Structure 1
Amino acid sequence: MLKKLINIVVLVPLGIILIVLSVANRQAVTLAFNPFNPADSLLSVSAPFFVFLFLAVIVGLILGAGVTWLSQGKYRRRARNEANEASKWHREAEKQRSQAEKLASQTPLPAPQN
């Protein structure tokens, strides 16, 4: 519930801001990738400004997700190791249980004494 509330509080205003900026910045701009000759048409892209805004947001989301994923690697590794260890102990317990049942079925029960 809290995660949904935080998403609403953060994402809705961000979406509104992006929509307002998109409507307000429809004029074409040129993004030049050649710092020595900005007029070079081979290394420049012309598009409405809001396209560059959306691309910046998308690149930021992807980079942020990647950094978060990489920073949480130690926790995923620990969880994987603990899951493997738990599985190993579960198999050992099953093996011990089957051996105990096998011994119980082989050993005859003593006759009750009166």
Structure 2
Amino acid sequence: MKTFFKALILVPIALAIVLFSVANRGAVQVSLDPISRDAPQLVYSLPLFAVVLGSIAIGVLIGGLASWIAQGKHRKAARRSRREVEALRSETQSLRAAVPDSALPALTRGNG
């Protein structure tokens, strides 16, 4: 069922990307020279869909990296909490092992 819903979402997205790519095959010039607008030194001729999809991919990567960095404090707190839980579990086990069973008071049923 999960695979079906995944396909239900991804297939239309993939189809839209393919249709966009086919419709925008024309070449555009991408200049990486901010100084000289008339005769730029670094010019690449790329299909428009490559420029658009590449820009989207770079944006997703930058956004993911920014999100990962912002969530670092939460990951650090989770690691600290996990270590603390493990330390407390081991302490509880050692304390339970140190106390003999006969030292614990027995539960008795009262008459009344």
Same fold (TM over 0.5): yes
Q: C-alpha offsets along residues 56-86 of structure 1, whole Å, 9 cap, x if unaligned?
A: 1110111121121122222212211111110
Q: Which amino acid aligns with 1:98?
A: A
Which residue pairs with 1:25 in the alignment?
Answer: 24
Which residue pairs with 2:45 in the alignment?
Answer: 46
What pairs with 1:35-114 in structure 2 (closer than 5 Å)? 35-38=34-37, 39-40=39-40, 42-101=41-100
Extract structure 1 runs of 4+ deviating beyond 6 A.
none
**Taking structure 1 as reference, are residues 62 and 8 closer, same or farther at Cα in structure 2, changes over 3 Å only?**
farther
The CA distance in 2 between the partners of 1:90 and 1:24, in whole Å, is 61
1:19 Cα deviation after fit: 2.2
1:5 Cα deviation after fit: 5.4
The share of aligned pairs that are identical, in percent, is: 30
Q: Which amino acid aligns with 1:58?
A: A
The CA distance in 2 between the partners of 1:59 and 1:31, in whole Å, is 16
Q: Over the residues paired in the alignment, what is the CA RMSD in angstroms?
A: 2.8
**Residues 1:15 and 2:14 are matched in the alignment:** yes
Quick check: 57-66 or 70-79, which moved more?
70-79
The CA distance in 1 between the partners of 2:80 and 2:54, in whole Å, is 38
Q: C-alpha offsets along residues 25-77 of structure 1, whole Å, 9 cap, x if unaligned?
A: 1111110011232332x412111111111211110111121121122222212
> How does the TM-score come out when normalised to structure 2?
0.71
SS of residue paired to 1:93: helix
Q: Which amino acid aligns with 1:92?
A: E
